[in-house]
Structure 1
Amino acid sequence: MSCSICYERFVAPVSLPCGHIFCRECIRRTVDSIKSCSVQHYCPTCRKPFCVVSIDPELVPPYLRPHIQSPIRPLFFDESVHSPSTSASASTSSSSQSQSQPTTSPTSPPLTNPSPFTASPTSASAPPPTTPSPIPIPISSPTPADLGRVTAAADALRLSCLTWRKRAEVHAAANAGLLGFARAAKESAQRMRVERDAARNECLLLKRKLAEVMAPPEWSDSDADSPLEGERPERMVGRAPAPRGLPGVPRAAEEVQGRCRVPAVRRDDAESVWAAD
């Protein structure tokens, strides 16, 4: 199996959500080659979108962790198949064990009077099956170029892990800051609501007091008992009625003012006085 990007055998294979498999270094170079700030990229084979941002498992509740997987998941191939050298050594050991065991013919009583017409049993057994000799496989030692490439890949992977860890820490810090800001905003809103209700109640109380102060005074029964009640109507001619019931003017002052006024003289009395003169 080979990677569809580098056309070589898989080195640290990873799988995308669409199911295609690539080398970790190849898909990392593919993602880094795009200079966009977007976190959504596309599969090089089927062009299906996938996200490159992974969520820190510490930020996910335990009951949701089985349902949230990383978009780039590592794969591990099964290496249980025996190599050719192992199978060849096993076949060689089995053949040597079969050759070391002596071949014995079935025991039979010896013939006392052998007849010339009877066939004697053959003591020779069948030859053992021939096994193919193992094909020597040349084992090449890793070259400095291969070692350098593997070391560079390990360093790049370590740097990538460090970068993603820092991004996760920044993301967690941002989430914590947003949660604190939301909590502070909620508390401030509750405090302002309480202050608003208190101010509304105080305003209603002040309006009620103002209405009571500005309302005109009501007439009582004592207002009818005035000192001018027994006077005749003709005595009231020529005298302007005093304003009564005005706010801010005491009732006693109105009574004193009414008593100090000069009574009007009737016309008949004046004519009688002139006739006497």
Structure 2
Amino acid sequence: MADLYEVDNLELSLPDMTRRPLFGAVPRNEILKGLSFSIPRGEILGIVGGSGSGKSTLGRALVRLLEPTGGTVRFDGRDITHLEETELRPLRKRFQMIFQDPMSSLNPRHRVGGLIAAPLRLQGVENAREAALEALDHVGLPRGFAERYPHELSGGQRQRVGIARAIALRPDFILADEIVSGLDVSSQAQVLALLERLVAELGLTLAFISHDLSVIRRLCTRILVLHHGEIVENAPTAELFDNPSAAYTRELLDAIPLPDPEQVWN
């Protein structure tokens, strides 16, 4: 299967404003340190690591919300590492992001239908309203929800709206960053099952960031383990859980109780 993403020696540093000097350049924190991996089409990749491991920074680099400071990121064969925003704009409909807190990305003054249709209109999609309603169909929400405001929905419903907004443009790739961490176990299971179905139905490629290894185990086909901005393990899910090769991975597995996923999610 062809790779949708090819990442080679990716580096990214950010200004450390806590150490801003009176004179001279602001010191930089090195967040990502020489990451190399690929994401085949149709894969569900889990990205896991402790706080400060760089997993969210990596995700934002993949969808070019952050510009790498070294290495290359190729999307469908095209180098997007340093593309200007004018060049990125036509590509953005092909890679979308679902955020952890949907309320932070959904304008509370707009109805759900308008929120989903807005990016479609920006991309010049005809019949944006109907496409937004079809996106609601895909995520299992009644079309009547198009007239509701975000505050009128439950947390799980709001996350489904965020998913609908991401898939409405029919992207090739979706980045989901800790999107079930604020949900109860039942809602988590429903959202994970939805994502799994959408990957199959729409031919999506998905990168799923989470600190919860039981969630990663339930959903993902392969896992990247990050530690201090470096990849310490890159393996199929079953292999990683059955026989982790990195000491840090073993620490993560030992530190977090992992109930039988068949009992929790089915």
Q: TM-score, normalised by structure 1?
A: 0.16
Q: Which has the higher helix share?
A: 1
Question: Which entry has the higher C-alpha Rg, 1 or 2?
Answer: 1
User: Quick one: higher RCO (CA 8 Å, sep 6+), 1 or 2?
Assistant: 2
Q: Which has the higher strand share?
A: 2
Q: TM-score, normalised by structure 2?
A: 0.16
